[in-house]
Structure 1
Amino acid sequence: MAFKATDISQELRPITNCDNIPNDSEDSNLSETSDFEFLSTQNNDLDFNETDESEEENINNEKEIVRRKMVWKICLTNLPLIIPKWKGEIPTVDKVKKPMDYFNIYLNELIPLIVYESNLYVIQSRLYWATNTRQAKVADVMTLNRWEQIKSFIHINDNDKFIPLGSEGHDPLHKIRPLITLTNNILKSLSIGENICVDEQIIPYKGMSRLKQYNPQKPQKWGYKAFLLCGDDGLLHNFEVYSGKILPAEGLPDVGASGNAVLRLFSYIPQQINYKLFFDNWLCSPNLLVVLAQRGIFFVATVRGNRLPNINFPTDKELKKRRGFFV
């Protein structure tokens, strides 16, 4: 790797000194405490070497260079850029669907579910006033007609299947679990392109709920947290609402909470198709990258230094000490 500083006040010249640097050269031994030698402004190449006995002359040249604006460029040698070809394909259609067409697909399955569960809930609630199953603590306080007038019967899941908190198999999202499953099945059926992204999002809510999260870095700081899988076409293809511990995806190893969130969203995607996945440093970890590589999924991500074992990165304060510092 070679570096070049170009004075943008003059005509830009091509980089001609991008030769291979020997392993035993001074450039290969640079550290964050190394000093640099600044060459004369008549030569626009800026080499990173230790200072020698001409330090006084170089300091004067340094002041002259600092006054000018420099554009740093990195020249990589012997590292050909290989971008794997995507093996998937987006099916062709005779007619492009309108947004309302996609919404109708969702409603055609959602409405029957709500009607069925709401009717079931009505029957279950009326048992408190029935002759054989009457509950005095309820029936003596309020009439059935008054109860039906107050209570909304919109319901999505069967209360008889609810598992109490603390018991094995408890689902904090039991009330809306069929809605989430139905929605995800529809989203997964949509065609997905080569470039996809995983990120988290806050669904605004300030009411009383133990699932409510606070994230000061989000535009909406209070609400439910969800992990989303989206394509570069702007469509949502899968999502999960955060409800506590993030378990590993079925048939995949445990790579930590953040990595599990990515694999759970991505588990239905075909392998070895060379999809390109993008995500941020909260989701990135070496164990996750290994699993993605094994499944033929390429990725671009930022990474936190404390997640890389046996590697000590300089702090942000140290990186800002010198211009052009890199790791």
Structure 2
Amino acid sequence: MVDLQEVVSEKLHWKCDYYICDYFSSDLDNINKDSLEFKNIVWRKRFMQLHVNEVAFRGKTDLPSEVKKLKTPIDFFTYFFTDELFELIYMETNRAAITENVNTSFKVDKYEIRRYIGVLTFMSIFRYPNTESYWSEYGFKNIPNCMSKNKFEQIRKYLSFNDESQRVKKGCAGYDPLFRIRKVAGYLVERFDSIPKNARLCVDEQMCSTKMAHHLRQYLPDKPHPWGVKFFVLCDTNGYAYRFEIYSGSSNHDIILPGTPDIGATGNVVIRLSQTVPNFVNHILYFDNFYTSLPLLVYLRARGIYSLGTVRANRIPKCKLPTDKSEELKKAPRGYSTEFVATAYGADISNVSLLFNKIQSLENLLRETQAQVHNNNQRSSTYQLVEPAHSSTHNIVTNLLANPLICNLLLSSNH
């Protein structure tokens, strides 16, 4: 039997999507963070009620046939690090060597580049006092068996990923602090993003651990690896990273994609990372209070993407939620919540305050609320501004590179 209520709800949901799509189709870039829509927003104390069909995921997560054929760790590695990428690296490396010395006898091919990466990977796993130790009498025999020390040092000297002659000098218009790795980073993002996205996604920062002396290095004491280069990453609940963006200072703030609004530096990061997320298939995007703002929630809803995140009180115009020192919260029991709903640019936004005493309770609370939605058709937590369950942003490639089998295969690469 067909559930008439579900059919009607589904049709109404599609009509709502079409309405929002038509409303924003030509005005997505006109969402103004300083608009009166946000400054004069009116919050009303009520529950946002959504039917289960309104938040049901309608996208496709089936892996491409090319990915399904991958069986071994080296298969997965070569799916992301393709021959095309190795050819780019060896061509640019040879160019750099000839540019420095036109009479040089140095020459490298893509197989030597693969072995070079294998050597670096082994070095990151098996620590020796210095580089020379790997070729010593008591060194790691896999390395000298595949590459001489002189060859390794030559590749390290000339290794290049882009044509240095096209690099704009610092201080000049068009300067790109990431020029030297822009091609490789862009290629890897494209390969990572070829995997269909799961329903629930997350945007957060990740540190690429390093203590090298570089202007991009940062110190974030709250991170597991406080020293390193900061990445903004779009990942899913399995820990797979679909897209990343390397933080390069204030230059990141100036990147506004065509057809998208300028809603502030942090909100623009989410907009850029979510550009390849399919519209109107009910993805749910999580982020923390570093990114959350009303213009961002409205923009994502205009694309048919639900969003959920913690929020700073100063980012909620005319906020009516009780403060930490209010009598209402002092007398309230653990688990108490209050909710206010408002509309901006035709999109409903729910603002929720939750009382708890342990940060760990948030994960269970979110899951319990979602289960309640699916089981009892009660109000949805989709717009609730709570902390999402933690999602690691470590990419599958990190584990692949740490696999000794891959190291050996890279070292012995000759085809």
TM range (shorter): 0.5 to 0.7
**Residue 190 and residue 308 in structure 1: after superposition, are their counterparts in 2 closer, same or farther (change >3 A)?**
same
Task: List alignment gaps of at least 5 residues for structure 1.
Answer: 1-75, 130-144
Answer yes or no: is the 8 Å Cα contact 2:201–2:237 preserved in 1.
yes
Task: List alignment gaps of at least 5 residues for structure 2.
Answer: 1-45, 105-149, 339-415
Answer yes or no: is the 8 Å Cα contact 1:212–1:222 preserved in 2.
yes
2:238 corresponds to: 233
**Greater helix percent: which structure?**
2
1:275 corresponds to: 283
2:86 corresponds to: 111
Moved more, 254-263 or 208-217: 208-217
Counterparts of residues 19-98 of structure 1 (less than 5 Å): 79=49, 81-82=51-52, 83-91=54-62, 95=68, 97-98=70-71
**Residue 150 and residue 226 in structure 1: after superposition, are their counterparts in 2 closer, same or farther (change >3 A)?**
closer
Higher relative contact order (CA 8 A, sep 6+): 2
TM-score between the two structures when normalised by the length of structure 1 = 0.65
Query: How many angstroms does 1:91 deviate by?
Result: 2.7
For residues 50 and 323 of structure 2, what CA distance do their matches in structure 1 show? Answer: 31
Deviations 1:270-293 (A, max 9, x none): 211211111111111111011001
Equivalent of residue 201 in structure 1, options 189, 198, 206: 206
2:183 is aligned with what amino acid?
P
For residues 275 and 153 of structure 1, what CA distance do their matches in structure 2 show? Answer: 44
Larger Rg: 1
Equivalent of residue 322 in structure 1, options 323, 326, 331: 331
Query: How many angstroms does 1:232 deviate by?
Result: 2.4
Deviations 1:76-132 (A, max 9, x none): 989455442222112356645344322112222321111100110111001499xxx
For residues 286 and 213 of structure 2, what CA distance do their matches in structure 1 show? Answer: 34
2:317 corresponds to: 309
Give the paired residue count.
235
Query: How many angstroms does 1:244 deviate by?
Result: 1.7
Structure 1 residue runs of 4 or more that deviate by more than 6 Å after TM superposition: none
**Residue 224 and residue 92 in structure 1: after superposition, are their counterparts in 2 closer, same or farther (change >3 A)?**
closer
2:178 corresponds to: 173
The root-mean-square deviation of aligned C-alpha atoms, in Å, is: 2.7
SS at match of 1:152: helix
Query: How many angstroms does 1:326 deviate by?
Result: 4.9
1:97 is aligned with what amino acid?
L
Answer yes or no: is the 8 Å Cα contact 1:249–1:267 preserved in 2.
no
For residues 77 and 214 of structure 1, what CA distance do their matches in structure 2 show? Answer: 41
Equivalent of residue 249 in structure 2, options 244, 254, 264: 244
TM-score between the two structures when normalised by the length of structure 2 = 0.52
**Residue 87 and residue 156 in structure 1: after superposition, are their counterparts in 2 closer, same or farther (change >3 A)?**
same
**Residue 174 and residue 92 in structure 1: after superposition, are their counterparts in 2 closer, same or farther (change >3 A)?**
closer
Query: How many angstroms does 1:310 deviate by?
Result: 2.2
- State the identity as a percent: 37
SS at match of 1:172: coil
For residues 278 and 48 of structure 2, what CA distance do their matches in structure 1 show? Answer: 33
